[in-house]
Amino acid sequence: MSALEPVIGLEVHAQLATRTKLFCGCETRYGAPPNTQVCPICLGYPGALPVPNEQAIELAVRAGLALGCTIGRASRFDRKSYFYPDLPKGYQISQLDLPINEGGELRVGERVIGLERAHLEEDAAKSQHVGSQTRVDFNRGGVPLLEIVSKPELRSPAEAEAYLRELRLVLMTIGVNDGNLEEGSFRCDANISLRPVGSETFGTRVEIKNVNSFRFVRLALEAEIARQKVVLGSGGTVERETRSWDESSQKTVAMRGKEAAADYRYFPDPDLPAIALTDAQVEAWRDAMPELPAARHRRWLDAGLTDYDAGVLGQHPATAAYFDAVCAASAMSAKKVANFIQSEVLGHIATDGLDATLPVPADALAELLDLLDADTIHGQAAKKVFGLMVEEGLGAKALVQREGLAQETDEGAIEASVRAVLEAHPDQVAQYREGKTKMIGFFVGQVMKASKGKANPKAVKAIAERLLEPN
Amino acid sequence: MTIAEHIAAVAGGASVRERAEAALDRVGDDPHRAFLSLDRDWILADAEQLDARLAAGESLPLAGAPIAIKDNLCQRGTRTTCGSRLLEDWVAPYDATVVERLRAAGALLFGKTNLDEFAMGSSTENSAFGPTSNPRDPSRVPGGSSGGSAATVAAGHVAASLGSDTGGSVRQPAAYCGVHALKPTYGRVSRRGLVAFASSLDQVGPFGATVADIAQVYDVIAGPDAGDATSADQPAPSAMEVLGAGVAGLRIGVVRSCLEQADAPVAAAVEGAAERLESAGATLVDVGVEHLDLALSAYYLIAPAEAASNLSRFDGARYGLRVEGRDLAETYRATRARFGREVIRRIVLGTYALSEGYADEAYVRASRARTAICRAFDSVFEGVDLLLLPTAPTVAFALGEKTDDPVAMYAADVFTVPASLAGLPASSSPVGEVDGLPVGAQLIGRRFEDTTLVRAMEVLSS
């Protein structure tokens, strides 16, 4: 039997970061008491009508533009029908034939992964099974989602994980999704099949539902590939079914078969006219598009950052923006700024969805880094000052002055200190002059000690070497 | 008693309360069973409030005129049953936009009227709470589905009422009961708070004893509503302002094929109406509208398809009737088994029409026929301003006559569904009698030219 390769496609449900739901004015805030963010519309009351949320449409189009999709100029909402308590109208408003975004692609490392579509739909409510009871919280019902469907072009679990990380970062960078996996703002279903290497056809695919971390997606896919290889290797066939990831056993387990494929009876929602988008509107959104993570990454490499630096600083849009703002306000090289931020600042940045708490403003950090860059203070002093800035909220210059941390740069004063040290240590001077030039460290140390660390060590060394030259 | 007379009486010192009492007395014990709810205490309390608002100097265009509301329109705090067991005890938590607008204009909301269950029917016999009878002949149906709203105006209880029209549900009962009714252009009147039957067809419309009553109510309810995405985003011209404008110079197309299909005495009455329009200065031309023969079948696929979807929310989970079963699926089945026969028939038909393997032959084909009918109307309206045809092929039929023959019942809508499919404004006005039973003439206008209909309706009534 020839070698098998995995064929993976991902369906991501990304919650659009709107204030209100897709078709009513209820808030989308996570964590409110059950059924407190509901109204006749999102509860499917008789006579209630959906009214599209313009912000959701804008965010969906912005996502489409960032992903290189074709923006549908007359896209349409359709009803997808099935009975379940989490679906108050008996149908979900989604998009079938004319999605708002068609096609598109996402660059993941060296590969470009094609997209089928990215369409708008409303979220279902959240069911909770308590004993024999099912409780339903409709706060989530009607929240806007963008379902982003990749082509089956991913070839490894690691690539799938990288795709998800990159997609999440793109959506966060353009402010479309808060990237919060724990709260379910970014959910993933994976389709996976195996086929002989070189084959153009697809094997029977299995869908793995609702895996709630990127690492688990990779692990679930790895486990599923292993399972399918065993099945196929022993001459069996893979069933078309839906499976879920079981963390405790590190395996996928069957959820339900798809033999009785549901007939969703899609048809255009007569309550909702086609979404009319003008070219001018779409172009305005395109023009307002911020720099995307991939372009930013390239720009940073050109500015001298390593791939690692750029990856670390780019992992959250707020950190990335912060780094760029500090660079813009400071004369220090980008690489040195990157080093300082990574070693000293990142540990102080707390992120919550799209929000981030920054320890000091970018221009305040730039002020500190400029003092360091101009040798006004040295590295150890800069770390100390940064700590004080975070604690006290004072500016770098004021703290350097208060703490007396400015380096002594007056050559005359330094020379006087050096002369005093040389005079106090005639034996060591003699040794130096006999060829033990390593003694220079001793003299510099003595001068630094005498100046309580304020003398510029480079200047001290140069002056001492000059004065120690044989007369 | 018209709205204008009511306004004059109130301006002359009569109280809304005493006039409300008089209207309640006129209804008496509601011999035609036009109402599903008519709460005397509520109505009198509302009337007193209106008197207080008037006394406080508030300007109320409708001055407390009683207006009855079809029981598929949400009125906050009242039962809104849709003529169905499933909503028998459901109290609407909000006002439909049209109800809100009537309240704001100072209407006295005067009870909820009987209808075919979820507005599905042509005789009001499909109400879970029993049929309404025709005030002109109690052995006959009032038409449907807005039979209660038509009957209460015909009986002289109130000057005006609201109905809803999906395939003829205000026009046909208006014809059978001998009153005026207007189905506005689709999108002209908000559907928010109208319990949906077929969303792409449903439109709220007024019944009136006179055309002025229709115009008065129309002006209050028509116009854009941000709460209905299908509401037209353009102001509605006033119908009151065109009263008295006449029809001189209008070209009116008589749809000859429909006259030929109708009972001869009905056709003769409509011919008489045409002559009246002509003598008022309109030019008559005989026209044909292509594809009209497709309308009834297209309608009876599209409307049930949308209805099946719209009615899937009635699952007993959140509101309304819930019949417990052993498990979820059985609860759904047991609850939904309480729909009436006609509603179940349409849900089944509509579900088939949308199912994989059938949708292309049913829903998709019907939608294509609908598009063809729209185009046919567009082309006819290049040459005429209005179309004239019978509202229904016959006069009101006897109670029970067609209840066992759904197809015969559906045929009562043959002349009304085309304008519904095309979303065009259409009206019915009484234009004569056959053996003491009223005949209605239907007018159809261009999209958003509702007020042109009002001009011609007025001429027909003079």
pLDDT tens digits, A3-33: 899 999 999 999 999 999 999 999 999 999 9
Cβ neighbours around A143 below 10 Å, total: 25
Active-site residues of B: which are they? 70, 145, 169
Given a contact cutoff of 8 angstroms between Cβ atoms, the answer to whether A79 and A88 are in contact is: no
- Please check whether residue B258 lies inside any domain of the structure: no
* Residue B302 pLDDT exceeds 70: yes
- Please check whether residue B388 lies inside any domain of the structure: no
Residues of B near A (CB-CB distance < 8 A)?
72-74, 80, 82, 87, 90, 92-94, 96, 191-196, 198-200, 226-230, 305-306, 309, 311-313, 315, 317-319, 328, 332, 351, 354-356, 359, 363
What per-residue confidence (pLDDT) applies to A134?
84
Overall average pLDDT of the A167-172 stretch? 97
CATH of residue B195: 3.90.1300.10
Distance from CA of B322 to the nearest CA of A (A): 13
In chain A the first and final C-alpha atoms are separated, in Å, by 87
Pairwise CA distance, residues A413 & A454, whole Å: 12
For A185-341, where are the E strands, in sequence order?
186-196, 206-211, 241-246, 251-257, 267-268, 275-276
Q: Going by DSSP bridges, is the β-strand pair A350-352/A133-137 parallel, antiparallel, or unpaired?
A: unpaired
Name the residue in chain B with its Cα closest to that of A266: B354
Overall average pLDDT of the B286-309 stretch? 97
Which one of A40, A83, A85 has the shortest CB-CB distance to B94?
A40
* Residue B154 pLDDT exceeds 70: yes
B456 or A199: which carries more pLDDT confidence?
B456
Starting at the edge strand found earlier in the chain, the sheet holding A267-268 runs A91-94, A78-81, A267-268
Overall average pLDDT of the B229-236 stretch? 97
Q: How many domains does chain B have?
A: 1
User: Number of H helices and number of E strands within chain A?
Assistant: 15, 19
Pairwise CA distance, residues A377 & A455, whole Å: 10
- Please check whether residue B55 lies inside any domain of the structure: yes
Domain span holding position B80: 3-242
- Please check whether residue B119 lies inside any domain of the structure: yes
What per-residue confidence (pLDDT) applies to B104?
97
A72 touches B at CB < 8 Å: no
A395 vs A75, A373, A384, A386, B350, CA distance in Å?
Answer: 53, 16, 13, 9, 72
* Residue B162 pLDDT exceeds 80: yes
What per-residue confidence (pLDDT) applies to A255?
84
Q: Quick one: how far is CA B443 from the chain centroid?
A: 15
What per-residue confidence (pLDDT) applies to A257?
60
Mean pLDDT across chain B: 97
* Residue A1 pLDDT exceeds 70: no
Contact B229 A83 (CB under 8 A): no
Which one of B74, B230, B359 has the shortest CB-CB distance to A46?
B74
Given a contact cutoff of 8 angstroms between Cβ atoms, the answer to whether A287 and A279 are in contact is: no
- Please check whether residue B113 lies inside any domain of the structure: yes
- Please check whether residue B384 lies inside any domain of the structure: no
Length of chain A, in residues: 471
Mean pLDDT across chain A: 93
In chain B the first and final C-alpha atoms are separated, in Å, by 17
Given a contact cutoff of 8 angstroms between Cβ atoms, the answer to whether A77 and A269 are in contact is: yes
Contact A51 B228 (CB under 8 A): yes
Contact B92 A89 (CB under 8 A): no
3-state secondary structure of B449: coil
Chain A residues whose CB is inside 8 A of the B87 CB are: 46
Pairwise CA distance, residues A139 & A332, whole Å: 49
B432 vs B271, B392, B438, CA distance in Å?
Answer: 10, 13, 6
For A72-153, where are the E strands, in sequence order?
74-75, 78-81, 91-94, 101-102, 105-108, 111-122, 126-130, 133-137, 144-150
Sequence letter at residue A293: P
What per-residue confidence (pLDDT) applies to A471?
60
Res. A261 pLDDT band, cuts 50 70 90: low
Sequence letter at residue B291: H
* Residue A132 pLDDT exceeds 90: no
Q: Going by DSSP bridges, is the β-strand pair B160-165/A267-268 parallel, antiparallel, or unpaired?
A: unpaired
* Residue A56 pLDDT exceeds 60: yes
A263 touches B at CB < 8 Å: yes
ipTM above 0.90, yes or no: yes
Pairwise CA distance, residues A17 & A56, whole Å: 8
What per-residue confidence (pLDDT) applies to A452?
77
* Residue A258 pLDDT exceeds 60: no
Percent of chain B's residues with pLDDT above 90: 98
- Please check whether residue B447 lies inside any domain of the structure: no
Res. B175 pLDDT band, cuts 50 70 90: very high
Which of B310, B322, B347 to mutate: most A Cβ within 10 Å?
A: B310
A353 touches B at CB < 8 Å: no
A274 touches B at CB < 8 Å: no
Domains along the sequence of chain A with CATH: 4-281 (no CATH), 291-403 (no CATH), 411-468 (1.10.10.410)
* Residue A2 pLDDT exceeds 80: no
Which one of A79, A136, A271 has the shortest CB-CB distance to B229?
A271
* Residue A381 pLDDT exceeds 90: no
Res. B209 pLDDT band, cuts 50 70 90: very high
Pairwise CA distance, residues B458 & B454, whole Å: 6
Sequence letter at residue B368: R
Structure tokens at A247: 């963390």
A138 or A256: which carries more pLDDT confidence?
A138
Pairwise CA distance, residues B360 & B373, whole Å: 18
* Residue A259 pLDDT exceeds 70: no
Which one of A43, A89, A136 has the shortest CB-CB distance to B312?
A89
Length of chain B, in residues: 462
Contact B196 A47 (CB under 8 A): yes
Pairwise CA distance, residues A348 & A358, whole Å: 7
Overall average pLDDT of the B176-196 stretch? 98
* Residue A260 pLDDT exceeds 70: no
Task: Please name the residues between 16 and 45 in chain A that touch chain B, using a CB distance below 8 Å.
Answer: 40, 43-45
Chain B residues whose CB is inside 8 A of the A136 CB are: 317
